[in-house]
Every structure is written in structure tokens, then in C-alpha cells.
Structure 1
Amino acid sequence: MLGSESTPARAFDLFGLFGGEEAPPPPSPAALPYSLRFQGVEDEDLLRPLQDASSLYRLRLDPPPDGEGLLRRAEADPARLTEVLWGYGYYGGSVGIRIEDVRLGGDAAARAAVRAAEAARNRVLVPVRIAVEQGPLYHLRSLTVTDPAGRPFPPDILPERLTRVGPDVPARSATVLAREAKLVDHFRAEGHPFVKVVRRDPVVDHAAQAMDVAFAIDPGPKAGIGAVTVSGAPGVDPAVIRSFIYAEPGDPYSPQALAGIRRSVSRIEALGSVRVREGTALDPDGNLPVFVEVAERARHLVGVSARYSTVDGPGVRAYWADRNLFGGGESLRIDADLYYLGLGNDFYARRRKLAGIETNGLGGRLAATFVKPGLFGTRNDLLVSAFVGREVQQSYLTDAAGGTIALRHRFSDTFSAQAGIEGQVGSSRDALGRVDYRLVGLPVSVAYDSTDNLLDPTEGVRLTASAVPYPAFLGSDPGIFLAKAQGSTYVAFDDEARYILAARLGFGSISGAGLAEIPASLRFFAGGGGSIRGYSYRTVGPIGPFQLPIGGRSLLEGSIEGRIKITDTIGIVPFVDAGTAFAGSLPDFDERIRFAAGLGLRYYTGIGPVRVDLAVPLNPDRALKQPPVALYISLGQAF
């Protein structure tokens, strides 16, 4: 110890996690530092706003030079702090300030406070107390809305639910402003871009401890969407950008329509930022001009991702992409996927060997995809893809190569249809034998997606359906017909989407050939992270020779999840999955449906949730060795 005088210890609180505050300066002959204490604040949400409004608190580390300076700070606080109390619904509250033991109020008290403060100079910190009497919390009693002339709006223009006030709603400024914002949003959604709040008249009834608020709102003219002007991104053909704008001049104006423009234009991979701005006045036709301002993103993209499941094994994927190949928003992407199926399982390894399926467990796929959006400025996109790879599963091995050329028409931002021609050749081996196949098909598909987020939807519906005839007259061997459909829906139970119910249903069917004639890679299997969690990947369905899964000619599976946010970044997801593959071309409910249940953890990031799921098979096939629990880790929700 270097001296007899000690100083207060200061805790190390780098991020302010423990609520520590820096101590005021020590007493000195040149200034009057002071200690400050708030008293009587019972509402925990009220203390921080009071501190932010208080000059005494905000300037506590910069002491005044004399008692007069301290007095001026103290005298400025009561009015500001009283406004904070009113803003939080405490209209009967009051604020009193003491310097030393002198309560401020009047000239005599002011002079006494200055003398008491000066007496502490260079000896001790001047004790200052802010005494808050909150009083009762007032409540919002009624809300009325009229036009500028004082006439109420009819219910078909302003629904009663927007003016209804529930019991015990605090009469806080934030509450009133939030209701005002909802009223403005309602009129804008009904096509009034220039709605204005002309008056806001709050009236406080102290006897009833209540507040009545009256709004006068001028909706302004109803408008349509006017001319859409696109600017920015000189390296991208503007006709392509315009093909992704589905709103036409004269369509009803709404903020949702403008959000749809932004969302659809953002789908062009060559573009980064997209800003949609409203005009400041209507055109002669009564429409609102719209300005779309875009910017290009980096042309080339390189990435690597990894995945792991305790039953499906590890995998790694690398990709390269050019997002504006010829200046028309064309994208060329090359994907390389390498994985190792967890084949150390003696149960499957022994039976594969008995079935003559020799594999080391390594599988992979090399694929290239080219997309030309907005052909000739239309809403048609050209899609070309090719692949070559080896697919290794617990019960089969397939070597294949093929390609597809298709044309997609975008009817709207949410609905599209696609048709093309597809071909592939390959060889598949499983417990039923070897199938050498050649397929030439005419795939058609439709897609509908009204969800609000690709990786973490909170509302909307997703539907996809496809049909691919592989007729013998085109050279297909075998000649088959394949159909698939899947739908999912998402419902949020609160405005902040902290409680979401998500459900998924999938169906598939193959007809035109016997099970043994169909390549194993085209048959339907259930099980795995994107199907029935808890069961090994593609092992749920009909069982063939050597107790190996052989897949089916039809599939039915579904999932239901409760997505619950505990904090803004952490969530839990209880879920149930069910389904199976069937031997026939249509589901036969005499066959046993498999069930699984589990609990997931979600960590929400800026790009999407990180998913960790633990799943347990509830009624596994005892003839197969299923793990008692499965772990899945990936980015994005399960569906």
C-alpha cells in the first residue's frame, strides 16, 4: 500500500453487462462533483428514460464549477422528468430534487442549496437526490377518428377493430403513437399514399385516471401505381430488370405492392441492393410514380459449405458462379459435392456385400446450371443444366449423367410454370439387381411461394408439383411416369412471429413399370434430415432381399413443427415427422407408417437460422438397425 488514502474500486465491465457505472470525479477545489441517486422509481422500464432526460445524470462526470452551476442543472430537471412520467402514463406523478438536505422550490431554498453545495467544496461529493412520485398508471379509455371536418369514417372505410381499446391499456405516448401508425398504415394499404394526421388531441381525465384520444386524419386521394423508372446497374440489361416488375400502371397502390416490386427485382442474382422509392406527387392520371434504384453486386461468387449428420455422414460442397455472364443477368454456376455416407454400420455393410454392391461409401456430383432470365425482355427464363455423379446410399449405388433444357414462365412474383426436355443415362445396383437405363423425358412443373423468407419463413404457403413422362417412343427404357408434389404452410400466432406453426406434406408416384425395372435412384425412399428425421437417410420403405431397403413406387410423408423464439437469437422447435414409401404406385395404408419426434435448437443469424435437431424414431422397423437418436446440423429451417 503506497499511501493511507484509498480510492473506490472500479469493476472491469467492458461490455456494460453488469450495469456498472463510472464513479464521479473526487472532490476538488476547482469544481463541485456530486453523487446522484434516484428514489421512488418502481417501474423498471421507467428508470433509463428518466436518466436519459436528466441533465444531472447525463453531466454527472463533468462537475459544475460552483453551486450556481449545480443549481441550474437541478432546476432544469423537474420539467423534463415530468414529461417522461407523462409519456409513460403517470399523469399524476411529480418530481422533487434535494441538494444536501435542501429541497428545491423558491428563492430561499435555491440560496440555501447553493450555500450547502459550496460548503462541500474540496471535502466530499455533494449529495443530490431526485425523488420521483410516480402516482397511479393512467389507462387509455377511448380512441376516436374523424376526417378533418369532424365526420367519423364509416366502418367499411375504417374497421372498428382499429379504434377498439382493450382493458387496461396504458396511456403511454408510445401506445398512442403506435395506434396512430396503425391508422396511417391502414389508409396507405387501402391506396392512399399521402395520408396525414391533421390533429392528435389527448384529453386526460384525472378523476378517472384515464385518457381519451381523438385523431383527425386526412386520407388524401386514392392512387394507382404510375410509371416505374429503373436506374442504376448499367452492366445489366434494363429489359431484364423490368421483366421482374409485375406491377402495371394503373394497378392499385399499396405499400405491399411496392414491397413486391423490391422482392421480385431482388431475385435477379446480378443485383445487390434494390431500393423502391415513391414519387412525391400524383401524375395527371392520378397514379403515383415509382422509382426503382438498383446496384450491381460482385460478379463472381466462390463458396464452400459443410454438413454433418450422425446417420447420413459428413459432406462438403464447393461452388463457383458468374452472376452476369453476358450482361443480361445470366448466371452460370458450377457445384461440386463430395460426401461420405456413414457406412461403418456393419448391418448394412454386410448385407450390401451379400447383395454384390461393392462401394467404399464415397459419393459425389458435379453439376453446372445456366440461367438466362428475361428472354428478349419477357417473363420467360431459359434454364440449362447438366450433371455427372455417383450416388451412394445405404442400399444402392448409381452412376449417372444427364441434362435438362427448360423454359420457365413467371406469371407473378409468387407463381411460375416450367416445361422442357430431359435426358439421362446410368446404371443402378441394389438388392433387386442391376438396372441399366436410358431416359428421355418431358418434365413440366409449377411452383407457388407466398412466404416472406427463403430460409426462415414466418407466414405464407409453398407449393411445388411436377410430372415427368418418360415415354418409350422417345427412347426411354424403361418407359415410366413420375409425379411429385409438396406443400408447406407457416402461421405466426403473434405480431413479432415468435410463435410459429409450420407444417409440410409430400407425395410422389411412379407408374408404368415394375419396381425391379425402375432405377433405384428414381424410386421413393423416406428417412433423413429433409424427410423423417431420426431414421437413416433413404432407408424407410419396402424391404427387399438381404434386408436392404429397395424403395417404393409411391411416397407420403409430412412434418409439423412449433417454432418458438425464447430470445431474439435463440429458439426451440419441437417437431413430429411421419411417412413411408409404398410398394405400389399409390399409397397403401395397410403398410406401416413410421413416426419420429424430436426437439431442435435454432440460433438466428443475419443470413438465416443455424439448425440443430435431435430426433428419435418412435416405431422403427426391428429388421433394420436404426440409431436410437439422430443429430442434424445445417443452415436454414428443415422446410
Structure 2
Amino acid sequence: MQLWPWRGAVSCSVLVVAGLLALPGGAAQAFDLFGLFGTNDKPPAASPKALPYVLTFDISGDRKAVEQPLKDASQLYRLRQEAPLEGDSLVRRAQADFGPMLDALWGTGYYNATLSYEIGGAALTIGGSPSAASRAAEAYRAREPVPVRVVVNTGPLFTLRRIEVDDARTGRSFPQQELPSRIVGLNPGDPARAADLRAARARMVDYFRSQSRPLAKAASTEPVVYHPAQAMDITYTIDPGPVAPFGEIGVSGTESVDPAVVRSFIYLEPGDPYSPKALADTRKSVGTIQALGSVRIREAEALDAHGRLPVFVEVTERKPRVVGFSARYSTVDGPALHGYWEHRNLFGGAERLRLESDLFLAPRNDGTRLKRVQDLEPSDIGGRFSASFIKPALSGSRNDLLLDALVERNRTGGDRYGGYTTRFVNGTAFIRHRFSETFSMQAGTQLQKGQTSDVLGKIDYFLVGLPASLMYDSTDRPLDPTRGARVNATVTPYPSFLGSTVGMTVGKVEASAYYALDDDARYVLAGRIGLGSVLGADLDEIPANFRFFAGGGGSVRGYRYRSLGPQGPFGYVVGGRSLLEASLEARIKITDTIGVVPFLDAGNAFESSYPDFGEELRVSAGLGLRYYTAIGPIRLDIAAPLNARPGDKPVSLYVSIGQAF
């Protein structure tokens, strides 16, 4: 969505360490968006009834590695805005931190670290008397916050010396062919950090589970720290468990939804090889049922009598009815109203009925703009009403019924690029077959009756189509894919012998692919290509809403929406019989929440039925900013045309939720 064009430049320790390995990772750090919300480091004001304090960390050694883990472990740090009532309480709060903060230091690989406090200038050490520190704190009552200093000396970083991974079945080390060293991922000389050791243990268990061994587990983890040598030896004992397939698959939690519908979205069958990925795909597939709110997959703890692993799919249902309303305003499109009503389980089979309507200002094709309410004419009002119905899992099968109806009156353009007016009513009926959670095909019928008008003339038409399409989606995330591919291809013949007034065939295919350069998907290459073609009719015979246009936020960024294509009288863009679009992005995460995306777009629409590479492709380049949230990235893209036409804006800005493709 293009919100506004922007003109101008945009320029011995065995038991303790073992306990550390059993702990989860440190607490997550809150992100202060661009530092706009300030911090809470200022202590409460001094008071006769309490002892506020100022906490500082005096760290000798590797401050960068240990400061945040120490803060995460410290109750004194977390409660710094809650002043204790007396000196004894402040000292007890500090004493309670000794164990967790030492654990944090050891967890980062500093097993010879020392830790003490200075409270009001008085020392507080592990096992030392708290009296002096308590009296020193009381001396600050009603005067000023008590200065509290955490004194840390990290000492040397301990490293791994010997790494052994034993098979719980035989007591011997795993050979390389059974457990590759790249899976263990630890080498002598590596830092002896607890987080790295836990990650290695998880990798080994996950590896065996991926080899169809569902009961794989870590039987024991035995780290031994040698303080004089500043080294650690660690021995893992892994039980890979037996190879086993999936067993019976149960569905529970349904109340008003037919369980057979849920089962139709589960593509696992008893006897299939066990796979963690198959379970993740099942959760994703079942989660597409609109009537369900959550999906949990639970594995049995033991194999059944046939040596198979039973799986239980546990679901919860959502409230069946939902209604929504929104109002928006765009500096390009003006005001608009949107409303919808939806029932997610109409007849008890997860049938979804959705009624949706839009009311908006339609841009004027002559380029004039509405400046006053008094200038409003009935033709300036555009509207759209749609109804859609989905009946999933017909008779418990993997076939779905899809019915859609749409009535629309709209105008496009409204500037020097021209545009068209369209009025139509459309109805479609499809049967979709789901081959798997990633691949489906559908076919059906379409009826559309309407009228379009532009500089090429007015066309009254009636079309009877036989659309067929296929969809493939192996991506990992709908709004922020990092791996996999998407393909959406549609072809619709409108033959004259069925009654169509324009005999033509319309086809379009769009494909995108995503490749993560690293395991954490912080660097992702993404590419997209789109092709379209209309066969069997001349350009001026084709209704304007069936022609192809390029340009805009979902096409070639940097060019105005639907401004690219063949030109007719007065230089107005009238659309083409073919389309070519391509995009390439490098998605780079700078932090867990902030990323940048340099991109390149190219495309155009052509008068011929196939892309004419003799004509110039319009190319743009830009840079995007991403703010990653739990639901998906917030996208801000700035794009500039590289081969601009006279009148094209030098820079355009786009804002939306989700990646560009």
C-alpha cells in the first residue's frame, strides 16, 4: 500500500555446573523501541520510611559477556524501584543474589570469578557478617539513596578440554557415522559456557529424533571443572531410542466442530516414519481451520504394542461469530469504511461464512480531485460487497467447497496516468483438493457480468469461465518467510461456446523463494517473479479489469500504483495483455527486532500476449526497515525509480505489516 509519495532526498564443581546445564536460558531483555520510552534506573526519592538505593556494577574482566547475565540473575537489580524498609532487608536482598549471580558467572564460563558487595561503603561477602553493611545502609535513611556496588572479578575464561558422547545402550562413544561431529558442535578449546553445552545436548537429541527415533533423550550430562587448569571435561550420555513409525493419531478437544474435519487436515497416517517436521507441519495445517483457536500435539511417552508412537492432536475452539469495523484515511485514496461479519462454524463442520463490505471514494479518471464536500457526486462513491463460504472436508475427505460472490463499483487511476471505471457482479464455485499441507489444486466455474470504460471505450461483457489453479507453499512463516517456496498459478478459459461475449484465456503465475544463509535466519535472500498473459482477444476487446498493470507496493515499488503498461489516447495507461514482474531482496537482521532490506524491483505490462523483451523494463531500487513483532514484521520501504519517466516521483514510501512478498 502506497501511503504517500515523498519528494526529495532520503538520504569440585560437578553438581553445580550440572545444575547450570539444567537451567533454561536467561530472561529475555525488553526492547525499548529506539529508546523513546526512557529507562527506570532513577531510584525512588529518599524517605524516612524506606531505603532506596542506587545499584552499580564494577566488573573487572570481560564486562560485555557477564554484565547482562548478572542483571538478569539479580533480584536486587530487578527490584531496584521497590525500596526496602530497613537496612537488614536491603542486605538480605543482596545476600539472596550471591548464588544466582555466581551461577550466571559460571554459566558464562568464568568458574574462578569472585563476587562481593559494597553497601554504603561497607563490604558484604559470601558468608561474611551482614551487620556492618546493614548499619551503613541505615545511615542513609531520609538523606539519599544508598550506594550499592557489585564488585566482580571474572578471572580467566575456562575452556573445554575433553568432550565425550557415550551411547547409553553400549556405554561406548558414538562412531562418526552415527553421530557426526558437526551435530555435537563442540571442540577442545571452545569456551565452557553453559548455554553452548545445553545447545549441544539439544542438537544431539534433535538429530536422533530426526532419524525417526522419537524416544531419544539425554540420559545424563556430567561436566567436571578443573580450577587449576582453567578447563572443563564434559561427558554426555545419550539414549537414541529405537527407530519407530507413527502410531494411531487421536483428535480431542472438539466440542461443536466435527472431529472428522480436523482429521482431514492431518496428513500423517499410522506407519509413516516418525518426523518432528511432520508434527510441525501438522500443527500448521490444523491451525488453518478458522473454527479452531489453538493446536497442541502431544506424543505418547512409550511405544504401543506394535512398536509405533501414538500421537494426540489436542485443539480448542474459537468463538464462532466475529464482527469487525474499521475506518481509514489515505493521502492518496482518501477516506474509506470497512466492515465484516463472520461465522466460523455455521453448521458444525467448521463451515465459514464471511460477509464483507467496503465504502470508499473512487478516484476521478479525469484527474480532478474532490476538494469540498459540496463537490461530491454519486459517481464518486465506490463500493464493494462480498460473500464467501467454505465447507472444508466434504464427507470427511480432503476436498473443500468454496463459494464466492462479489458486487463492485470502482474507479482506478485518477491522475495523469488515467484509469478506468468498472461495475460488475461475479460468482465462483470451486472444489479444492488438498494433496498435503503444502500443495493443493482447485477447479470450478465462474460467472461475471459487468461494464468497464476507459479511454479505449466502453465494454459491456458477460463471461463464463472454467478456472483452475494450483497452490504450493512450503514456507515456514506466512508473514515473514525465511525458508521454502511459494507458487500460485491460475488459468481461466472463457470460451465463446459457453456464452462468453469475449473469447479469451487468462493465465497468471507468481513464484517466490526464500533462502536463509545461516541457521538463525538473520540473513535471508528472497526472490519473486510474476508472469501473466491474456490470449485470444485484442487489447480493446478485453475488459479493463482483466488487463495487466504494474507498479506500486506489491509490484514495482517506486512507481505509482498501476501506472506501468501500454499507453492509449492522451498518454493514459490502459493496461496490457501480458505482465512481467521480478523482485530481489536481502533481508538482514541487525538485532532481534530491527532489520534492513535492500531491494531491487523490475517489471512492466505489455501490449502483446507475451512479455516483449524489446520494450523497456521499469527498474527501481530501495532500502527497507523492518521492526519485527510477534505477529510479523512492520514494513517501511523507501524506493526510487532507476529509469524514471517524466513526472515520476523521485522517491516513494510504503508502510504495511508483513514482508513485501
The interval holding the TM-score normalised by the smaller chain is 0.7 to 0.9
Q: What is the aligned partner in structure 1 of residue 256 from structure 2?
A: 235
Q: Distance in 1 between matches of 2:354 and 2:363?
A: 29
Give the alignment partner of residue 384 of structure 2, picking from 341, 365, 379.
Answer: 365
Q: Distance in 2 between matches of 1:378 and 1:195?
A: 34
Q: Distance in 2 between matches of 1:316 and 1:33?
A: 53
Q: What is the aligned partner in structure 1 of residue 28 from structure 2?
A: none
Give the alignment partner of residue 381 of structure 1, picking from 400, 417, 429.
Answer: 400
1:298 is aligned with what amino acid? K
Q: What is the aligned partner in structure 2 of residue 256 from structure 1?
A: 277
Tell me if structure 2 keeps the 8 A contact 1:24–1:61. no
Tell me if structure 1 keeps the 8 A contact 2:383–2:408. yes
Q: Does 2:531 correspond to 1:501?
A: no
Give runs of aligned pairs for residues 212-227 of structure 1, distance below 5 A: 212-227=233-248
State the structure with more CA Rg. 1
Q: Does 2:179 correspond to 1:155?
A: no
Q: Distance in 1 between matches of 2:621 and 2:403?
A: 39
Q: What is the aligned partner in structure 2 of residue 85 from structure 1?
A: 105
Q: Does 2:646 correspond to 1:583?
A: no
Give the 3 Å change call, closer, same or farther, for CA 603–52 of structure 1 in structure 2: closer
Q: Distance in 1 between matches of 2:409 and 2:52?
A: 77
Give the 3 Å change call, closer, same or farther, for CA 101–235 of structure 1 in structure 2: closer
Tell me if structure 1 keeps the 8 A contact 2:553–2:654. yes
Q: Distance in 1 between matches of 2:177 and 2:458?
A: 68
Q: Distance in 2 between matches of 1:617 and 1:36?
A: 53
Q: Does 2:342 correspond to 1:321?
A: yes
Q: What is the aligned partner in structure 2 of residue 176 from structure 1?
A: 197
Give the 3 Å change call, closer, same or farther, for CA 634–338 of structure 1 in structure 2: farther
Q: Does 2:590 correspond to 1:535?
A: no
Mark the runs of 5 or more structure 2 residues left unpaired by the alignment.
1-36, 371-376, 414-418
Tell me if structure 2 keeps the 8 A contact 1:27–1:33. no
Q: Tell me which moved more, 152-161 or 530-539.
A: 152-161
User: How far off is 1:529 after superposition?
Assistant: 2.0
1:630 is aligned with what amino acid? S
Q: Does 2:474 correspond to 1:450?
A: yes
1:368 is aligned with what amino acid? A
2:636 is aligned with what amino acid? V
Q: What is the aligned partner in structure 1 of residue 534 from structure 2?
A: 510
Q: Distance in 2 between matches of 1:610 and 1:77?
A: 39
Q: Distance in 2 between matches of 1:122 and 1:398?
A: 80
Mark the runs of 5 or more structure 1 residues left unpaired by the alignment.
1-14, 350-357
Tell me if structure 1 keeps the 8 A contact 2:420–2:452. yes
Count of aligned residue pairs for this structure pair:
605
Q: What is the aligned partner in structure 1 of residue 322 from structure 2?
A: 301
Give the alignment partner of residue 457 of structure 2, picking from 433, 449, 452.
Answer: 433
Tell me if structure 2 keeps the 8 A contact 1:504–1:560. yes
Q: What is the aligned partner in structure 1 of residue 657 from structure 2?
A: 635
Q: State the SS of the aligned residue for 1:521.
A: helix
Q: What is the aligned partner in structure 1 of residue 570 from structure 2?
A: 546
User: How far off is 1:203 after superposition?
Assistant: 3.8
Alpha-carbon RMSD across the aligned residues, in angstroms, is 3.6
Q: Tell me which moved more, 524-533 or 505-514.
A: 524-533
Tell me if structure 2 keeps the 8 A contact 1:309–1:631. no
Q: State the SS of the aligned residue for 1:332.
A: strand
Q: Distance in 2 between matches of 1:461 and 1:491?
A: 9
Tell me if structure 1 keeps the 8 A contact 2:116–2:123. no
How big is each residue's C-alpha offset from its partner over 1:592-616, in whole Å with a ceiling of 9 and x where there is no partner? 1011223333343333333333322
Q: Identity of counterpart residues, as a percentage?
A: 53
Q: What is the aligned partner in structure 1 of residue 163 from structure 2?
A: 143
Q: State the SS of the aligned residue for 1:233.
A: coil
User: How far off is 1:497 after superposition?
Assistant: 3.1
Give the 3 Å change call, closer, same or farther, for CA 340–617 of structure 1 in structure 2: farther
User: How far off is 1:136 after superposition?
Assistant: 1.1
Q: What is the aligned partner in structure 2 of residue 522 from structure 1?
A: 546
How big is each residue's C-alpha offset from its partner over 1:100-137, in whole Å with a ceiling of 9 and x where there is no partner? 7779799xxx6xx6786698697568998764332111
Q: What is the aligned partner in structure 2 of residue 280 from structure 1?
A: 301
Q: State the SS of the aligned residue for 2:544.
A: coil
Q: Does 2:645 correspond to 1:613?
A: no
Give the 3 Å change call, closer, same or farther, for CA 327–620 of structure 1 in structure 2: same
Give the 3 Å change call, closer, same or farther, for CA 134–179 of structure 1 in structure 2: same
Q: Distance in 2 between matches of 1:392 and 1:97?
A: 72
Q: State the SS of the aligned residue for 2:348.
A: coil
Q: Does 2:426 correspond to 1:416?
A: no
1:132 is aligned with what amino acid? V
Q: Distance in 1 between matches of 2:443 and 2:222?
A: 60
Q: What is the aligned partner in structure 1 of residue 84 from structure 2?
A: 61
User: How far off is 1:220 after superposition?
Assistant: 1.1
Q: Tell me which moved more, 523-532 or 333-342.
A: 333-342
Give the 3 Å change call, closer, same or farther, for CA 440–152 of structure 1 in structure 2: same
Q: What is the aligned partner in structure 1 of residue 628 from structure 2?
A: 604
Q: What is the aligned partner in structure 2 of residue 20 from structure 1?
A: 42
Q: What is the aligned partner in structure 2 of residue 392 from structure 1?
A: 411
Tell me if structure 2 keeps the 8 A contact 1:312–1:528. no
Q: Distance in 2 between matches of 1:458 and 1:223?
A: 31
Q: Distance in 1 between matches of 2:305 and 2:334?
A: 64
Tell me if structure 2 keeps the 8 A contact 1:484–1:509. yes
Q: Distance in 2 between matches of 1:359 and 1:189?
A: 63
Between the two structures, name the one with larger relative contact order (CA 8 Å, sep ≥ 6): 2
Give the alignment partner of residue 335 of structure 1, picking from 338, 346, 356.
Answer: 356
Tell me if structure 2 keeps the 8 A contact 1:274–1:295. yes
Give the 3 Å change call, closer, same or farther, for CA 85–62 of structure 1 in structure 2: farther
Q: State the SS of the aligned residue for 1:267.
A: coil
2:522 is aligned with what amino acid? R
Q: What is the aligned partner in structure 1 of residue 206 from structure 2?
A: 185
Q: Tell me which moved more, 369-378 or 149-158.
A: 149-158
Q: Distance in 1 between matches of 2:539 and 2:46?
A: 82
Give the 3 Å change call, closer, same or farther, for CA 22–343 of structure 1 in structure 2: same
1:627 is aligned with what amino acid? K
Q: Distance in 1 between matches of 2:335 and 2:432?
A: 34
Q: State the SS of the aligned residue for 2:603.
A: strand
Question: Please, what TM-score do these two structures have when normalized by structure 1?
Answer: 0.84
Q: Distance in 2 between matches of 1:635 and 1:48?
A: 32
User: How far off is 1:45 after superposition?
Assistant: 4.5
How big is each residue's C-alpha offset from its partner over 1:280-306, in whole Å with a ceiling of 9 and x where there is no partner? 211111111111111211111222356
How big is each residue's C-alpha offset from its partner over 1:410-466, in whole Å with a ceiling of 9 and x where there is no partner? 000010000101111112212222222221111111000111222222222110111
Give the 3 Å change call, closer, same or farther, for CA 544–293 of structure 1 in structure 2: same
Q: Distance in 2 between matches of 1:598 and 1:224?
A: 49
